[in-house]
Amino acid sequence: MAKIIISALLCLAMFGSLAQAAGGCREANGTAPVSGSCDAYIECKNGVAEEKLCPDGLLYNEKSTGYPCGYPIDVECTQAQSRLQSAQPTEDCPHQFGYYRMGDASHCGQFMNCASGRGYVFDCPEGLAWNAATYKCDWPDQVEDCDAEAFLGFSCPAPGQKSDLLGEQEADYTFHPSSDNCQVYFICIENRPRRISCGEDQAFNQETMQCDDIDNVPNCSNDIRAKGAEIKAARASAAAGRKAAGKLH
Ligand SMILES: *[C@@H]1O[C@H](CO)[C@@H](O)[C@H](O)[C@H]1NC(C)=O
Ligand SMILES: *[C@@H]1O[C@H](CO)[C@@H](O)[C@H](O)[C@H]1NC(C)=O
């Protein structure tokens, strides 16, 4: 009986040290990369190594001091061969975890966050496109594979003739009113548009080519002007309230 226990212990000890050697625990508690893989890692607990796998869609992040797996954009996998576990797609998601753009080049404003295979759809603020390279909502002209003109429904006019007189430079960007929303305008930068909203109580003044008090822009519909006036009144009364409260102190 004693013999069996001793050999079992010996076996355990050997296994432990083998695993340690294979895993290369650098610290008693910590993680280490697995050669050739970007999503497997060695977890060491009290010097005992165990190979683990990040959830599908995440990569092992050697630099993390907390949870060892991260989104691909945050992780630099330095393994020569970047072997990955096979994808576990669901009806919603290409992988269990991650952020994914939705739609085609003319619909770039939506993205999906996948968590345990469930997809949650998000909209970028109006006029912005999901940038898969930065995981942020961005100007559509900055997003690869986004057709900014189709997405925004605005085509930048062809650039005017360059004037050679006095070495005059063509403007780098041009301003254009929106044809259907007086509170919105477009800036064309290198012939690609960005949509800018002036804000609730402002509108684009085509004479100054700037956002202006809605009262100065007669082109807005009565509805929009009335809404703007309401917002201004609410702001004014809130400011008056703050002032009155300030006097009490
Ligand atoms: C490793 O973790 C265990 C339990 O979490 C702890 O008891 C032990 O002291 C740790 N070892 C080191 C070297 O931090
Ligand atoms: C109103 O619209 C006309 C026609 O588009 C334009 O010429 C004019 O500059 C606009 N006025 C302002 C204040 O934006």
Same fold, 19-86 and 98-152: yes
Closest CA to 228 of 196, 197, 249, 207: 197
Residue owning the nearest CA to atom 1 of ligand 2: 219
pLDDT of residue 61: 94
Q: Which CATH class is domain 19-86?
A: mainly beta
Residue owning the nearest CA to atom 13 of ligand 1: 28
pLDDT of residue 13: 41
SS3 state of residue 49: strand
CATH, domain range 98-152: 2.170.140.10
User: What's the predicted TM-score (pTM) here?
Assistant: 0.74
- Which parts of 34-153 are beta strand (E)? 40-45, 48-53, 59-60, 69-70, 98-101, 110-115, 118-123, 129-131, 136-138
**56 CA distance to ligand 1 centroid (A)?**
28
The verdict on the CB of residue 207 being under 6 Å from ligand 2 is yes
pLDDT of residue 22: 45
> Residue 165 — very low, low, confident or very high, per pLDDT cuts 50/70/90?
low
CA–CA gap between residue 56 and residue 86 (Å, rounded): 8
Mean pLDDT of the residues in the chain: 85
Measured CA distances, 162 to 154, 155, 167 (Å): 23, 20, 9
The verdict on the CB of residue 131 being under 6 Å from ligand 2 is no
**What are the residue ranges spanned by the domains of the chain?**
19-86, 98-152, 165-233
Range name among 25-29, 37-41, 94-98 with the lowest pLDDT average: 25-29
pLDDT in tens, 1-38: 444 443 443 334 444 444 444 446 788 899 999 989 99
Range name among 56-70, 169-183, 210-224 with the lowest pLDDT average: 169-183
**35 CA distance to ligand 1 centroid (A)?**
25
pLDDT of residue 82: 79
